[in-house]
A = this chain, B = another copy of it.
């Protein structure tokens, strides 16, 4: 049972990968990249540290361009992040070999988050299973599990060597002469997983 798991190297997507592997899936981590930065390399490094197979999936830069437009229009990044994530899920789901896709979205997330009709639509349109191991877990549960499992580095978003959509989106905004801090929250801490606390 192979599952393609959207992976940023952060603690949520790492925890979801751990759960999937623990219950018997063959987990293939995939990191989305738009060829704007080589920020996928941080996720690859973490994936290797955790002992997972990892690939990069390059998507059309037009998706990122459109997301930049959306967040400039909105003055905040939520709808843009949601837009990228939906496109990412669709692009992975439509790949011939993909029967199961997953991500690290959590119960208490606002974005990215597929409401039930959209989740079912994704499954039906692409004939895949969409698995969200963290959807039934609250923030306390996730904090407890990730603190137990992982060595985690926490820094401000602006400084962190990360692989999520935000990194390339901020870079593209800067290229367009827009200060990402006018759109993203100023002190927004994010995490990166460096490895296991013990071997799992």
By a beta-carbon cutoff of 8 Å, the part of chain A in contact with chain B is 1, 18-19, 22-24, 100, 105, 107, 116, 119-120, 123, 129-138, 140-141, 144-145, 148
- Docked-complex contact A119 and B133, CB < 8 angstroms: no
- A145: chain B residues at CB < 8 Å are 23-24
- Docked-complex contact B136 and A141, CB < 8 angstroms: no
- Docked-complex contact A144 and B23, CB < 8 angstroms: no
- Docked-complex contact B131 and A141, CB < 8 angstroms: yes
- A141: chain B residues at CB < 8 Å are 100, 129, 131
- Docked-complex contact A134 and B136, CB < 8 angstroms: yes
Question: Which of B23, B116, B123, B132 is in CB contact (< 8 Å) with A19?
Answer: B23
- A18: chain B residues at CB < 8 Å are 23
- Docked-complex contact A148 and B24, CB < 8 angstroms: yes
- Docked-complex contact A136 and B135, CB < 8 angstroms: yes
Shortest beta-carbon distance, A137 to chain B, in Å? Answer: 6
- Docked-complex contact B138 and A136, CB < 8 angstroms: no
- Docked-complex contact A144 and B129, CB < 8 angstroms: yes
- Docked-complex contact B123 and A116, CB < 8 angstroms: no
Could you pull out 29 A-B pairs where Cβ atoms are within 8 angstroms?
Answer: A1-B144, A1-B148, A19-B19, A19-B23, A22-B22, A22-B23, A22-B24, A23-B23, A24-B145, A24-B148, A100-B141, A107-B116, A107-B119, A107-B135, A119-B138, A120-B138, A123-B140, A129-B140, A130-B138, A131-B137, A131-B138, A131-B141, A132-B136, A132-B137, A133-B133, A133-B136, A134-B136, A135-B135, A136-B136
- A136: chain B residues at CB < 8 Å are 105, 131-136
Shortest beta-carbon distance, A23 to chain B, in Å? Answer: 5
Q: How far is the CA of A89 from the CA of B197 in the complex (A)?
A: 33
Shortest beta-carbon distance, A155 to chain B, in Å? Answer: 27
Q: How far is the CA of A27 from the CA of B25 in the complex (A)?
A: 21
